[in-house]
Homo-oligomer: A and B are copies of this chain.
Amino acid sequence: MPVGTAGTVKGMTQAQLEELGVQILLANTYHLYLRPGHEIVRGVGGLHRFMGWPRPILTDSGGFQVMSLKSLGRVTEDGVWFKSHLDGSAHFLSPERAVEVQLALGADIITTLDECVEYPSSHEAIHRAVKLTGRWAGRAKRYYEGRGTGDWGLETGGEPSAISSQPSASETQASEQSAIANHQSPIPAPSPQPPAPALFGIVQGGVDRDLRRESAEGLLELDFEGYALGGLSVGEPKAEMYEVADYTAKLLPRDRPRYLMGVGTPEDLVECVARGIDMFDCVMPTRNARNGCVFTSQGKVLIKHTKYARDESPLDPACECPVCGRYPRSYIRHLLVAGEMLGAILTTQHNLHFYVDRMRKIRQSLLFGAFAEFHSRVRAEP
């Protein structure tokens, strides 16, 4: 999944994403909640209408941004207090609120609020996060299951804005704890958006096998439609990441998607599919592109280097993307050096093609029983 942080994969039009064969996008709940606001997105008809993107969308819960952007105020049993990176305003995110915001956005796959601890953390801290993540997953599931039923006072297919509900006990308590403006009104019930999105639970546990098992088993009891592996690719050694992904994937049901969050390099995709992972998201293809780092069949190319100033060849002679069919390296280098938007646009288009193509090849090799061979070939690449 290419990452569309604020409802856009930076530099790409939705038509270009479709042409590249992108099947599903990730959008960040944290960013869309703060700007333009999930109610605006809901009002326009949801993220698909808002973004002009008819294909699937997955939203994260917002928890990772809250905890990684150093804007974190306080993690409580109820949820997370945080400050906006835009204007410093204070906000509260609970497991229920995270689901509610994601339902308003109208994604196809939504995720439960989790606590992601940094690497390395003490066994105690990871264990505490695993337990809290488990309790939050339960609350998210119960809130999600109550959407659009009589529980929420919804009798007919009325306007979302007409729906209201009583805040939960813990929500009320949180409200009373603070006069922060954005948390004064009760959380409205989620609007029914047929078809209902799939809800994924998130497995935590750092690089500790017992804690990963404990986290997975707790989630399995709740029976999610898919399972995400959180808390990986946060600084641990690569071998350890592969091992934990392998171990954790084996704990999860074969008939539910397994999604490894925030991973990774082109090699990671193959290595982790080999270990049982089905889905990925990562900013690497798009962020690297904007910095002039392009992925090719011959390895990474740092295209801003002076040696490409007169280079007439495409970014990757073996590549079939629209960029490699048209533009020489010299031009793309020129655009990036001159700070022209088209530089980032073209490198992004190329890198996304590389990633989408890699996943396409993985699927094809699996379908035709040739994955082991493909896996070996990728390992032998530069």
Residues on A close to B: CB < 8 A?
A: 6-8, 10-16, 35-36, 40, 43-45, 49-52, 309-310, 312, 322, 326-328, 330-331, 333-335, 337-338, 340-342, 344-346, 349
Contacts and interface: CB of A to CB of B under 8 A. Distances in A.
Given A326-B52, A328-B49, A7 B341 contact: no
B334 A345 contact: no
A334 B12 contact: no
A312 B11 CA distance: 22
A331 B51 contact: yes
Given A8-B342, A309-B40, A310-B40, A328 B50 contact: yes
The 3 closest A-B pairs by CB, nearest first: A52-B326, A36-B334, A8-B342
Nearest to A322: B15
Q: Which of A15, A35, A52 has the most CB of B within 10 A?
A: A52
Contacts of A16: 13
Contacts of A312: 43-45, 49
21 contacts: A6-B334, A7-B335, A8-B340, A8-B342, A13-B322, A13-B346, A13-B349, A14-B326, A15-B322, A35-B334, A35-B337, A35-B338, A36-B330, A40-B310, A43-B310, A43-B312, A50-B331, A51-B331, A52-B326, A52-B327, A341-B341
Contacts of A322: 13, 15
Contacts of A12: 342
B341 A11 contact: yes
B344 A341 contact: yes
A15 B35 CA distance: 31
A349 B345 CA distance: 14
A109 to B, nearest CB: 21
A10 B340 contact: yes
A200 to B, nearest CB: 26
A44 B314 CA distance: 12
A257 to B, nearest CB: 28
A45 B349 CA distance: 24
A10 B326 CA distance: 17
Nearest to A309: B40
Nearest to A36: B334
Given A11-B345, A340-B8, A341-B344, A330 B52 contact: no
A35 B50 CA distance: 39
Contacts of A344: 341
A44 B334 CA distance: 12
A345 B312 CA distance: 27
A292 to B, nearest CB: 15
Contacts of A7: 331, 334-335
B14 A309 contact: no
Contacts of A338: 6, 35
Contact of A330 (B15, B44, B337): B44
Given A44-B328, A328-B44, A331-B44, A341 B10 contact: yes
